[in-house]
Chains A and B, each alone.
Chain A
């Protein structure tokens, strides 16, 4: 299964996502890649109805979360009634299919623990 990676600065340990050439905290340019995964908190969300033709659903739900490491990411929500501040867990799965091309990305669902 594909991973979505965060970028941990070898200089100061700051975590970033997505990729940048240099660390925003210290300016260093070398990183360790670590999977973006684990528990997260929902910061905001929307249910989107005007989708591109790549999506067959009537709507999709998107959200921005903050992981326990402090790094943030946007992804698909598999939650019926999202609420700001709710605890989520993440996994990677297909998020978009165009022709024969499938793109994998972050999904978030209600955290069980």
Chain B
């Protein structure tokens, strides 16, 4: 496969789209990425990641609609749907399109406008990705699957509600330096767990997970431009290469997994991404993990190989995953505070890493990171994509 580079990245502020439609937010992110890449009409392929336009926005054929809105005819167009991992899938497909030699440039956009429906409807919409007969009919929601996972994980490894709160506190603090974050509000251990009003301000959603253990329902979009080495070199921009990607699936129904505390698809996807990149977890300088629930940041940090199984919460407690720690995780604020427009998330993770590696992350810029990692978690871990990115030169 040919080497593939990122020469442009852009995103909207996550949160409420207000009067903006799904097409509007996708256009904004794409225009930012095209401007960043100094490209206009030389895009050959467009891949749009989206999970719910049909259900939430009464819209289909979003990929084709975006070519039209962006005046990119006759570029090829596809819509990529893979639940909350749609973004990662679209970046993978775009990488394969350029890497295979089929095209030299690809625009990958991910977006979702979820707040067009009520919170109950949005929760139900996301729950439709659970197993229809064995899970969904019972009232399963993604928080409920995360709640059952968290209870087992906490019981097995001695993780406390305070450890979960530490993830939220860190990521909310990180988001304070991200102008695109949905939630810019710091939170404290006292406020989340120990003050009497915590039961009201931070109620249970799916025990043992509370509201601040869960990501918000967000609108927004993100985009990247992928291209060949020749185009990237000619652009004179920082050379950020897609060094490796990996994907793996697992059983649809969570109860069928041999050990329900294992996120096997995360482990396999990460191993494959590191294998393709010729890198190992210890090489990574910055990571964006799929913290739709606080417990997932801890579990994914272990499955990806950054920490031994059962020790992710210790690394968190020791500050190793803070921006000034050994391995900064979710410097953007993560899904927890940057927000989680489901189709956008996998692309937004890549945007954050591309900015960090290119030295364009503004106030939250880390000190010269060279290798970045993303993990985009679909379903409840039944389809996961991981990427390794490298800055060259």
Residues of A whose CB lies within 8 Å of any CB of B are: 16-18, 43-55, 60, 62-64, 72-76, 84, 95-96, 103, 105-106
Contact = CB atoms under 8 A, between A and B. Distances in A.
Interface residues of B, number: 35
B256 interface: yes
B137 A46 contact: no
Given A43-B152, A53-B120, A48 B253 contact: no
A83 to B, nearest CB: 11
27 contacts: A18-B131, A44-B152, A46-B148, A46-B207, A46-B209, A47-B207, A48-B141, A48-B205, A48-B207, A49-B206, A50-B119, A51-B141, A53-B121, A53-B124, A55-B139, A60-B139, A64-B148, A64-B255, A64-B260, A73-B255, A74-B134, A74-B138, A74-B140, A95-B138, A96-B137, A105-B137, A105-B138
A55 B206 CA distance: 15
Nearest to B155: A84
B207 A18 contact: no
B256 A72 contact: yes
A43 B206 contact: no
A102 B312 CA distance: 43
A74 B138 CA distance: 8
B148 A96 contact: no
A16 B131 CA distance: 14
Contact of A62 (B123, B133, B140, B253): B140
A95 B207 CA distance: 20
B124 A18 contact: no
Nearest to B149: A44
B148 A50 contact: no
A23 B255 CA distance: 16
A46 B206 contact: yes
Contacts of A96: 137-139
Interface string B320-343: 000000000000000000000000
Contacts of B143: 48, 50
A105 B138 CA distance: 7
Interface of B: 119-121, 123-124, 127, 131, 133-135, 137-141, 143-144, 147-149, 151-152, 155, 203-209, 253-256, 260
A76 B121 CA distance: 21
B254 to A, nearest CB: 7
Contacts of B148: 44-46, 62-64
Nearest to B257: A72
B138 A46 contact: no
B115 to A, nearest CB: 15
Contacts of A95: 137-139
A52 B139 contact: yes
A74 B251 CA distance: 14
A67 B147 CA distance: 21
A101 to B, nearest CB: 10
Given A18-B133, A62-B139, A62-B140, A48 B147 contact: yes
B134 A50 contact: no
B293 to A, nearest CB: 12
B140 A72 contact: no
Given A43-B260, A62-B140, A73-B134, 7 more contacts: A17-B134, A43-B255, A46-B209, A60-B139, A72-B256, A74-B135, A75-B138
Given A43-B152, A55-B139, A75-B138, A50 B205 contact: yes
Residue picked from A16, A72, A106, most chain B C-beta under 10 Å: A72
A49 B139 contact: no
A48 B144 contact: yes
Residue picked from B120, B138, B203, most chain A C-beta under 10 Å: B138
**Nearest 9 CB-CB pairings of A with B:** A46-B147, A52-B124, A72-B255, A18-B134, A103-B137, A48-B144, A44-B148, A47-B207, A44-B152
Residue picked from A49, A54, A84, A105, most chain B C-beta under 10 Å: A49
A49 B151 CA distance: 16
A3 B208 CA distance: 31
A43 B137 CA distance: 20
Contact of B205 (A49, A62, A63, A72): A49
Given A45-B148, A96-B137, A52 B120 contact: yes
A76 B139 CA distance: 9
